[in-house]
Amino acid sequence: MPFPDLPAPLARALAARGYAEPTAVQQAVLAPETAGRDLLVSAQTGSGKTVAFGLALAPELLGGTERVGPPRVPLALVIAPTRELALQVQAELSWLYAEAGARVVACVGGTDPRAERRALDLGAHIVVGTPGRLRDHLERGNLELTGLKAAVLDEADEMLDMGFRDELEAILDVTPDTRRTLLFSATIPKEIAALAKRYQRDALRIAATAEGGQHGDIAYKAVIVPPRESERALVNVLRWHDERAIVFCATRAAVNRLHGNLTERGFNAVALSGELTQAERNRALQALRDRRAQICVATDVAARGIDLPELGLVVHAELPRDRETLQHRSGRTGRAGRKGLAVLLVPANRRREADRLLTAARIQAEWGPPPSAEQIRTRDNERLVEQAIEAAGTATNEAEAMTLGRAVLEAKGAEAVAAALLRALGAALPAPEEIEPPEPATRAPPARDRREGGGEGVWFKLSVGRAQNADPRWLLPFLCRRGHVTRQEVGRISVLERETRVEIAPWAAARFEAAARRHDADDEDIRIAPMRAAPEPAGTRPLKRRPPPAKRR
């Protein structure tokens, strides 16, 4: 028996679902020393923690029997940060406790509260919900927690980040002091430790997986792209890997724009953001599950808790704000023992920021350029040949179809027919994008050389000045984006009446000149050209240099 000492209905449910052996977090919460104790558990997303706390609740729900009693008042409460995660937890606990006769009810925002009230009136053994909706039902008298034996806080760190502290405290304050409390969180910051100290009794701390480390089933790639080429690079990444994928953006506006652009290019894509109704979100998720859609474009919050079988790829179209966001996004793939890939699109002028982010998360990423259009076309040809051979091998031998096939062969020949089949198979594929390769990273001189001068900067002139409202406050970010340089590589900026002169660090000048020559539709009126001789402007942002130290005699 892969899960020893479990009630028979739960053991059979696990066997029916193909669970051969417990994951690390499941094994940890079922250890003998955890019996009856409050637990503070840190576990990576996708590690099987929903089944873990479902199994851990068995003593409180079953009391040593194989079936639960009548559903008078809830025995267990599970609080989750988002609607999707709460509904996913409800589905998991429903199959796990189906044979035991447990009734699991969900209470989440975006659904009809009257239907939820009727479901609660009929009785529930387990209630799963989001903090806001659960508090609302409590205040309206629809939810009775006086008989609660166990409470679970799932992804507690995210609930605090989303501002649900007041709701959590309002819910837990009306539950019995004798309840068992299980708190699950990807990380245990000070806020989580304080919450645990207030609402748990002598909690057993379990680190089922190393906090902040790299998930063993997720590989990472960092793709360096010119700042204005991120969307084209995304298209090529999606085309190259040809996997079901979630693409993460920072804002709803970015989700809407990117979803529209991908759909226009021919991708079967859906969008998930906070502005959608629950019905719209459910339809989008169902399209992904039944493979009518291949790509999901989502914000961090909207995709929280989504579990899509066989999701092979996560793309960070915009860099995550911190290591926790990086890990939670990436954790949508590499679940339940499957391998997954997380790709970060890194603008060339933000590589240091991406390096710091990966280092903070203790993640090793493979760096490289995006796939080129030529590489994608070559791979497409290989895939199309395989698909054509497979299609021919599975063709039916119906007499009418065979007769038509022979007629086509006689009229056009085998090669022409095969070519037509390949064209038909490839017609639905979105076209790959031609991408300017990022400038090779010119290494900055050693820190000591920079401190001692590193050589005079190289001067460029821009075709805007005071007459066009040129100002260093907007010129500096413009130069970084247009010229693929960092702020530290931009020196003095001198704004004249009809032009602006700018100094670029010598180690970045070639990269800046090559990038600035390229056509930019958003700023096509601004021309940048190198100057033959260095001027003597009154600089507004001098390069940080020190004279070389005097030689000792």
Q: Where are the domains of the chain?
A: 8-207, 218-372, 447-530
pLDDT tens figures, 190-212: 888 888 999 999 899 998 755 55
Locate 195 and state its tokens: 């919450």
What does the pLDDT read at residue 1? 44
CATH topology of domain 8-207: Rossmann fold (3.40.50)
At 463, give phi and psi (nearest 5°). -85, 35
What's the pLDDT score for residue 163?
Answer: 85
Structure confidence at residue 380 (pLDDT): 79
- pLDDT of res. 419: 64
Mean pLDDT computed over 158-163: 82
Q: Which residues neighbour 383 within 8 Å (Cβ) at sequence distance 6 or greater? A: 242
Contact 149/63 with Cβ under 8 angstroms? no
At residue 405, the pLDDT reads 63
pLDDT at residue 43 in the model:
77
For the chain, give the percent of residues with pLDDT over 70.
80
How far apart CA 106 and CA 125 sit, in angstroms, is 11
More confident residue, 333 or 542: 333
Are the beta carbons of 105 and 91 closer than 8 angstroms?
no
Do the two domains 8-207 and 218-372 of this chain adopt the same fold?
yes
Of residues 109 and 211, more confidence is placed in: 109
- Superfamily grouping for domain 218-372: P-loop containing nucleotide triphosphate hydrolases (3.40.50.300)
The more confidently predicted of residues 377 and 173 is: 173
The token duo for 248 is: 């993460």
**pLDDT, position 273:** 82
Calculate mean pLDDT across residues 502-508.
88
Of residues 165 and 486, more confidence is placed in 165
For 252-297, how does the pLDDT look when each residue is reduced to its tens digit (9 = 90+)?
889 999 999 999 888 999 998 877 777 788 888 888 888 889 999 9
pLDDT at 240 over 70: yes
Q: What is the pLDDT of residue 429?
A: 74
**Structure token digits, residue 45:** 């997303």
- Answer for the pair 237, 315: CB distance below 8 angstroms, yes or no: yes
pLDDT at 145: 94
Kindly state the average pLDDT of the residues 318-346.
Answer: 84
pLDDT at 347 > cutoff 80: yes
Fold (CATH) for 447-530: Alpha-Beta Plaits (3.30.70)
pLDDT of residue 404: 62
| Average confidence (pLDDT) over 108-136 | 93
3-state class (DSSP) for residue 311: coil
The answer to whether residue 441 scores a pLDDT higher than 60 is no
Closest listed residue to residue 73, CA positions, set 175, 212, 197, 155: 175
* More confident: 430 or 465: 465
How many other β-carbons are positioned within 10 Å of the β-carbon of residue 474? 10
Cα 314 from Cα 328, distance rounded (Å): 11
Amino acid 327: pLDDT: 82
Q: First vs last Cα of the chain: how many Å apart?
A: 82
Q: What's the mean pLDDT when you consider all of the chain?
A: 82
- Enter the DSSP assignment of 36: T
- Cα separation, 353 vs 348, in Å, equals 10
Beta carbons of 493 and 544 less than 8 angstroms apart: no
8 Å CB contact between 186 and 157: yes
E strands present in 303-364: 313-316, 340-347
Given a cut of 70, whether residue 423 has pLDDT beyond it is no
Listed in sequence order, the residues at least 6 apart from 550 whose beta carbon sits closer than 8 Å to its beta carbon are none
- What is the percent of the chain where pLDDT is above 90? 34
User: Tokens for 204?
Assistant: 């057993």
What does the alpha-carbon distance between residue 364 and residue 450 come to, in Å, rounded to a whole number?
28
pLDDT of residue 139: 93
CA distance 249 to 321: 11
Higher pLDDT, 57 or 510: 57
9 contacts 95 by C-beta, under 8 angstroms? no
Lowest mean pLDDT among 154-163, 239-248, 406-415: 406-415
Q: Provide the pLDDT confidence category of residue 55 given band limits of 50, 70 and 90.
A: very high
- pTM over 0.85? The answer is no
Alpha-carbon distance 331 to 46, whole Å? 6
CA distance 411 to 417: 10
Residues 524-544, mean pLDDT to the nearest whole number: 67
Q: Taking 70 as the threshold, does the pLDDT of residue 399 lie above it? A: no
Looking at the predicted structure, is the pLDDT value of residue 395 above 70?
Answer: no
What letter represents residue 550's amino acid? A
Please report the pLDDT score of residue 515 as a whole number: 83
